[in-house]
Amino acid sequence: MNIRKIVSHAVAAGLLAVGAWLPCVSQASVVIAGTRIVYNATDSEVTLKLSNVGKSPALTQVWLDKGDPKADPSTLDLPFVLTPPLARIDPDKSQTIRIAYTGEALPKDRETLFWFNLLEVPPKPKAGEVGQNFVQLAFRSRLKFFFRPAGLPGNADDAPGKLNWHLGTLNGKPVLEVANPTAYHVTIIEAHVGEGEHAPKFEEGNMVAPGGQASLPLTGAPAASGKVSFTTLNDYGGPVKHESALK
């Protein structure tokens, strides 16, 4: 089944209904157990559970990409096999997705980031609905997928404490400059400099790659010295608070 045709047909149906100014409420029925996936190189596979909490069957398709959400899945050549790539999930039922690494070379000195995609396509309208105006939308979810080689120095839980912070400016506006010297990706969901209700903040979320750096825009100009309080996400998607001195 061609995923591009599924998406185009579903979106076209939605646009026709919206053009007729019909009210509608629509939401995804299939939920993913988890908010991120970590694949340790020592594992033979990882599994992910999809559950249909809706009242109708759902057709799902899953794939990985390298970071381009517009990439055609049929053109991607990645060292992973997802089973099953296409599945029907009945109401109140679940489907386990198995992801296996096929062994092609990936960097061994740092994590590699991919993205897990789930496309959910609703069923065709029932016989009694034929001829009526309706909205039919395909829902797509994307999760971060981290491939973690064996033998990396340190561990992912300690990586946030090793970030280096200092103040800077970008286009004349204050920013927090953060550098990641570790082999792990660090997702920062918020940060602030100093204390108090009016402390300059960053609240937009960002991820710093291994050996990478980022500029986090602040809501105001902070003092030249002090500490940074920030929150990151761990392997399970849970928030963890940290403090660090400005360099």
Q: Which of 100, 123, 148 is the last residue of a domain?
A: 148
What is the domain count for the chain? Answer: 2
Whether 240 contacts 230, CB under 8 Å = no
Q: How many residues does the chain have?
A: 247
Residues 164 and 78 in one domain: no
Q: Which residue has the higher pLDDT, 127 or 189?
A: 189
Whether 60 contacts 50, CB under 8 Å = yes
C-alpha distance from residue 198 to each of 57, 130, 220, 221, 246 (Å): 49, 57, 9, 11, 18
Q: Which residue has the higher pLDDT, 1 or 145?
A: 145
CB-based burial label for 243 (10 Å; 0-12, 13-18, 19+):
exposed
5 HSE (CA, 13 A, CB side): 2
Query: What are the tens digits of pLDDT across the range 35-47?
Result: 999 999 999 999 9
Q: How far apart are CA 221 and CA 193, in angstroms?
A: 9
Terminal Cα-to-Cα distance of the chain (whole angstroms): 54
Residue 188 has pLDDT above 50, yes or no: yes
* pLDDT band per the 50, 70, 90 thresholds, residue 222: confident
Residue 203 has pLDDT above 60, yes or no: yes
Which CATH number does the domain housing residue 163 bear? 2.60.40.10
In a domain, 138, yes or no: yes
Give residue 7's pLDDT.
43
Residues 140 and 219 in one domain: no
Query: What are the tens digits of pLDDT across the range 59-68?
Result: 999 999 999 9
Q: Which of 148, 170, 204 is the last residue of a domain?
A: 148
- DSSP code of residue 123: P
* pLDDT band per the 50, 70, 90 thresholds, residue 26: low
Whether 149 contacts 98, CB under 8 Å = no
In a domain, 102, yes or no: yes
Domain hosting 197: range is 159-245
Residues 116 and 174 in one domain: no
Residues 118 and 165 in one domain: no
